[in-house]
Structure 1
Amino acid sequence: MCGITGFVNLQNGFDRAEASQTLDRMCRVITHRGPDDQGVLVTDQVALGMRRLSIIDLAGGHQPIFNEDGTVAVIFNGEIYNYREIKRELEARGHRFRTNSDTETIVHAYEEYGFDCVDHFRGMFAFAIWDERARRLFIARDRVGKKPLYYTLTPQRSLIFGSELKALLEHPEVEREIDYAALDAYLTFGYVPDPLCIFRRVRKLPPGHRLIFANGEIKIEQYWDFDYCPIEGRSEEEWIEELRACLEDAVRVRLIADVPLGAFLSGGVDSSTVVGLMARAGVRPVKTFSIGFNEDSYNELKYARLAAKRFETDHHEFIVTPSICQIVDDLAWHFDEPFADSSAIPTYMVSKMARDYVTVVLSGDGGDELFAGYTRYAVDSRRAVFERLPRPLRRGVMQPVSRFLPHGFWGRNYLYNIALDSLDRYIDNVSVFTALAKEKLYSDDLKARLRQAGADATALFRERAAKMCADDSINRLLYLDSKTYLPGDILVKVDRMSMAVSLEARAPLLDHRLIELVGRIPPELKLKDGKLKYIFKRAVEGIVPPEILHRPKQGFGVPIDEWINAQLREQIRDTLMSSRARQRGYISLSYVQTLLEEHENGRRDHSTRLWALFMLEKWARLFVDGEGDRARASFERFAPVASSG
């Protein structure tokens, strides 16, 4: 696990000494992703750098890694779990390996298969290959989006890329002009979905895509996608047997490591399944890590303890209290872009605790998007009945009435939601600030900027939805979440918070072979008679304790609603109502005042909205006002001196 960064200018080139200094800054600012080593390659036109967290081939995995004659170089962030099989195939074809690392497999696979080398890799990855003979940079990101990749093509024709946005910002050609379409998307969904970035000229390479940079031009291609093509005629038991075997294999291949390994254990079905399969695979005892709260409604420790006892793990726990919110500036620094998922707090703390014992953890991420585990899928299924009402009634009567009703009127939001078509209804369901709320929240200036740019946060969702091949409602929603919420929120949260403490997190439930299998399972076996994750739970019967298997769904959240009204009350009010927030001109502070008063008085739970606004202001102070420069200096005190490569 590493962090990669670099830049290429094939037309104008650059001063080698200046390029080396710039690259060193770009590497050092992501030292947390790889504290063990730094490697660089600098020529007159190419600068590649990486920070390494040593996991496999501790002695021989120094990057960049080259092919036999030194004309192809790779820097790599991630893990290739089937690298040994690929290595044997390539050696049989005449390739000569110098190391036992999975990174070198990428170089030779590229030589053998070209851009299609990505089709052969099973794992999580973001890598960059410089091909000296072809004068070409090749970048690829894994199928699901576990590993991040930012890039920009500057007016000076430099392609600049990196695992984190902060690495790009160290390059003098990268500008910090806010992309208001991305800001709109953030306030709508609580995260900035790919390919958008909060800064206008920067983009994120989407999952399952590759980028080729040659002759000063960028070409982006998609090489993989979620495919929902259910197969009929197989029995439920046949699906269960194949699914269980695939789950066991997905966990087994992720146990490869030359360093200590453990697992996150929340007490839910997904993480309990992963830990149970680790124990079955012979990991004894599994080191497990759990987070709890003093607030009973959010505390899952009793279920985590039950699973830990069942699987005889070496179990560790940490209680999160409101005082932990003092780390909010650190969180904003690590996310680079505004990010509103408050479960980042326990994710950071459980990662920090785990890092004291292990270097690699397995997690249960992805199970809800893969097997239909969110309660909103059942809610959407129930509300679909209103689509039978004539559209003129819904659009011409119900929607205008809902808009006319005053803010806070009982049933206003529900009436608006059920009057929408299916896709709009789901977008409304997953929004932090709905279309109704944004009419009040946005300042006139922001509304004008968005109209001028033709920006619409829902356009990205509509674009994703247009690519769905599924003809049933459940698989359509699973596809949409797997292309938006999963890579934009869940995987960003886990990557940034684990990497903040130099911990590698692996997600076996997002193995692409498992995903392809689940895409063939009929949707009625995923959500059956209102039962979420039906086929998944059937497959893990006998592995996961029944008390966990049949418990109600509980999200991995924090009691932020209570904290905002108590320990965080003054901090959030002072931040959101400050003159600095007012001067930004994004939002109506009178509406924010209304949200604060309603939440403080207990009339409405606005915790998600207030936290989103709070994190936006925290981000702006770091990355717009320049406070991040001081934060960077603090983090860099611990960065080792760069090595040359």
Structure 2
Amino acid sequence: MDKLRGMFAFVIWDKVEKSFFGARDHFGIKPFYYAVEEQGLYVASEKKAILKMVQDRQLDQIALQNYLTFQYVPGSETMHQSIKELLPGHFMTKKLNETVKITRYWQADFSPINKSEDFFTKEIRTSLWDSVEKHMRSDVTVGSFLSGGIDSSIIVAMAREFNPKLKTLSVGFERDGYNEINLAEETAEELKVENFSHTITVEEFMAEFPRFVWHMDDPLADPAAMPQFFLSALARKHVKVALSGEGADELFGGYGIYNEPHALRMFNLTGKYTNQAIHQLAQLMPDGVKGKSFLIRGTVPLEHRYVGNAKIFDEREKKNLLAKYNANHSFQNVTESIYQQTIGYHPVDRMQLIDINTWLSGDLLLNADRTTMAHSLELRTPFLDKEVFNVAREIPAHLRLAHGMTKYILRKSVEGIVPENVIYRKKLGFPVPIRHWLKDEMYDWALTIIRESQTEHLLNKRYIEDLLINHRLGKVDYSRKIWTALTFMVWHRIYVEESQEFLTEPLRFSV
């Protein structure tokens, strides 16, 4: 396994030894599902294939409880008890009449070294050039996704050196403030590459949402996942392989939340009992009051507050929402082992390792694989190369976050390769206007989903409906919580209620 590099999920059957071997790549770029029943071992790249064969189709209540926190099902669990995911960096073996054995062959870790900025910029450039060159190898047309941000711009700037006729793809929304197409077009023009774009309407978004949920296999409530579904459809009209920038944020410190340990440093001086008092007072403040979240987060340890890039419902809210809340399980059960392994590490290192081990494979890469495969598009992610990671793991936190910016050393590394105005542009991501839509264009659509959903035995539907009503009144932004519940309800309708009539209908959008 040490010699393998890149993305893979494969199985080998040794007919002589009567033994089975299966493995998944280091970061979880490609999926690997399995189930063990009396009839035998089932494996597949899509959960829905196994679901057709297993006898046990019971929902996993703990998986649902975790989903409501993370907006995806973390770890090796899936929403069905009998079906599991092989974790990234693991392989599995099985011989006839023996049980399945799962072994970790690789683990992400940080081990910073004391070297200069110049040393790291050279190392980063060398590893990225090598990775992009290898990811460009193909006997079919290769393109690249392009947003208005730094990560995709780095990939495009390097990829065009191997193919000056590189095609780039971008999407945005009609609403002001949620459209990166102009920025992407400006970047494409500066890099002298062709750009194709599509503006997504709210009508398209609602119409295609059930199909998106079907492709995901398990509910994924990241609003940014849907734009990639449309982006992949656009890309497939022009190329068969696309490059993308997934992994840069997790490896090089690209999320604003990574600045939190520095912002909360004052609470390290106030003492345990003072912090407890502040925390109790903050809990009494109404939702939406400015400063409440800051006080709460500042007065609890990192391992109790940070579970990755998304924390949707807290334990108190889940007690009100879930019909069968398990008080013996909390979100910390998912992240506890990672925090235990990183005691003594810099807080930013610990946060990044949480994201690499949970958010990256459970959300970003699940989305990346499913949305592209839904349109028969092969996606390649040059940042998620173990040789690139071997450089990133040695970079000290003070060079990842410096001078008020994220990914500082990565940005410095590509000076002269990427236009300077792009290098130091504020992070944008895939902004989706659902908080606006749920107050207006999506309100009736969302209300219908809630009321028609047959999930009363699992969720307090009245609680979700009240969130939607209060969100519309503008009291508090509940859009992420509402979207998480809606996604599960649509998933339940497809995979539990088995309503799949939409799959016989043609795609409703043209790109």
Given the two structures, how large is their TM-score scaled by the length of structure 1?
0.75
Distance between the aligned counterparts of 2:234 and 2:265, measured in 1? Answer: 43
> Would the aligned equivalents of 1:228 and 1:470 in 2 still touch at CA under 8 Å?
no
- Corresponding position: 1:597 with 2:473: no
Change in 2 beyond 3 A, CA 1:157/1:398: farther
> Would the aligned equivalents of 2:282 and 2:295 in 1 still touch at CA under 8 Å?
yes
Structure 2 match to 1:120:
3
Equivalent of 2:48, from 166, 174, 178? 166
- Corresponding position: 1:267 with 2:141: no
Structure 1 match to 2:169:
289
1:409-454 superposed Cα distances (whole Å, 9 cap, x missing partner) = 5544443322211121223873011234324333xx312xx24xx4
- Corresponding position: 1:612 with 2:484: yes
Structure 1 match to 2:313:
433
Structure 1 match to 2:81:
200
- Corresponding position: 1:226 with 2:98: no
Distance between the aligned counterparts of 1:579 and 1:341, measured in 2? Answer: 20
Distance between the aligned counterparts of 1:403 and 1:440, measured in 2? Answer: 17
Alignment of 1:79-118 (within 5 A): 118=1
AA paired with 2:304?
Answer: D
Deviation at 1:276, TM superposition (A): 0.3
Alignment of 1:311-390 (within 5 A): 311-324=191-204, 325-390=206-271
Distance between the aligned counterparts of 2:425 and 2:313, measured in 1? Answer: 30
Distance between the aligned counterparts of 2:408 and 2:287, measured in 1? Answer: 39
Structure 2 match to 1:213:
94
AA paired with 2:2?
Answer: D
Distance between the aligned counterparts of 2:427 and 2:290, measured in 1? Answer: 26
Equivalent of 1:140, from 9, 23, 33? 23
Structure 2 match to 1:479:
353
Q: What SS does structure 2 have at the residue aligned with 1:364?
A: coil
> Would the aligned equivalents of 1:151 and 1:159 in 2 still touch at CA under 8 Å?
yes
AA paired with 2:352?
Answer: L
Equivalent of 1:467, from 327, 334, 341? 341
> Would the aligned equivalents of 2:261 and 2:347 in 1 still touch at CA under 8 Å?
no
Deviation at 1:319, TM superposition (A): 0.3
Deviation at 1:472, TM superposition (A): 0.8
Give % identity.
Answer: 33
- Corresponding position: 1:510 with 2:510: no
> Would the aligned equivalents of 2:315 and 2:330 in 1 still touch at CA under 8 Å?
no
Structure 1 match to 2:302:
422
Deviation at 1:166, TM superposition (A): 0.2
Deviation at 1:470, TM superposition (A): 6.5
AA paired with 1:491?
Answer: L
Distance between the aligned counterparts of 1:377 and 1:386, measured in 2? Answer: 16
Distance between the aligned counterparts of 1:538 and 1:417, measured in 2? Answer: 31
1:227-265 superposed Cα distances (whole Å, 9 cap, x missing partner) = 211111x22112111211111111000011111110000
AA paired with 1:257?
Answer: S
Distance between the aligned counterparts of 2:333 and 2:453, measured in 1? Answer: 33
Tell me whether 493-502 or 236-245 shows the greater mean CA deviation: 236-245
> Would the aligned equivalents of 1:351 and 1:503 in 2 still touch at CA under 8 Å?
yes
Structure 2 match to 1:130:
13
> Would the aligned equivalents of 2:303 and 2:332 in 1 still touch at CA under 8 Å?
no
> Would the aligned equivalents of 2:69 and 2:313 in 1 still touch at CA under 8 Å?
yes
> Would the aligned equivalents of 1:226 and 1:516 in 2 still touch at CA under 8 Å?
no
Distance between the aligned counterparts of 1:543 and 1:529, measured in 2? Answer: 21
Q: What SS does structure 1 have at the residue aligned with 2:242?
A: strand
Change in 2 beyond 3 A, CA 1:180/1:472: same
AA paired with 2:306?
Answer: Y
Given the two structures, how large is their TM-score scaled by the length of structure 2?
0.94
> Would the aligned equivalents of 1:428 and 1:434 in 2 still touch at CA under 8 Å?
no
Q: Structure 1: any 5+ residue segments left out of the alignment?
A: 1-117, 636-645
Distance between the aligned counterparts of 1:291 and 1:555, measured in 2? Answer: 12
Structure 1 match to 2:374:
500
1:558-604 superposed Cα distances (whole Å, 9 cap, x missing partner) = 111111122211010121234624x2x32333432331122101121
AA paired with 1:249?
Answer: D
Distance between the aligned counterparts of 2:410 and 2:109, measured in 1? Answer: 18
Structure 1 match to 2:439:
565
Distance between the aligned counterparts of 2:92 and 2:453, measured in 1? Answer: 42
> Would the aligned equivalents of 2:148 and 2:428 in 1 still touch at CA under 8 Å?
no
1:599-633 superposed Cα distances (whole Å, 9 cap, x missing partner) = 101121111111111110000000111114x5667
Greater C-alpha Rg:
1
Change in 2 beyond 3 A, CA 1:574/1:631: closer
> Would the aligned equivalents of 2:34 and 2:84 in 1 still touch at CA under 8 Å?
yes
Deviation at 1:296, TM superposition (A): 2.3
Structure 1 match to 2:331:
457
Tell me whether 182-191 or 406-415 shows the greater mean CA deviation: 406-415
AA paired with 2:324?
Answer: L
Change in 2 beyond 3 A, CA 1:588/1:419: farther
Deviation at 1:554, TM superposition (A): 1.3
> Would the aligned equivalents of 2:438 and 2:468 in 1 still touch at CA under 8 Å?
no
> Would the aligned equivalents of 1:189 and 1:432 in 2 still touch at CA under 8 Å?
yes
Change in 2 beyond 3 A, CA 1:428/1:536: closer
Distance between the aligned counterparts of 1:223 and 1:290, measured in 2? Answer: 37
Q: CA RMSD in A?
A: 1.9
Change in 2 beyond 3 A, CA 1:604/1:407: closer
> Would the aligned equivalents of 2:71 and 2:310 in 1 still touch at CA under 8 Å?
no
Q: What SS does structure 2 have at the residue aligned with 1:124?
A: coil
- Corresponding position: 1:251 with 2:132: yes
Deviation at 1:398, TM superposition (A): 3.3
Structure 1 match to 2:178:
298
Q: Structure 2: any 5+ residue segments left out of the alignment?
A: 507-511
Q: Which has the higher contact order (CA 8 A, sep 6+)?
A: 2
Deviation at 1:455, TM superposition (A): 2.8
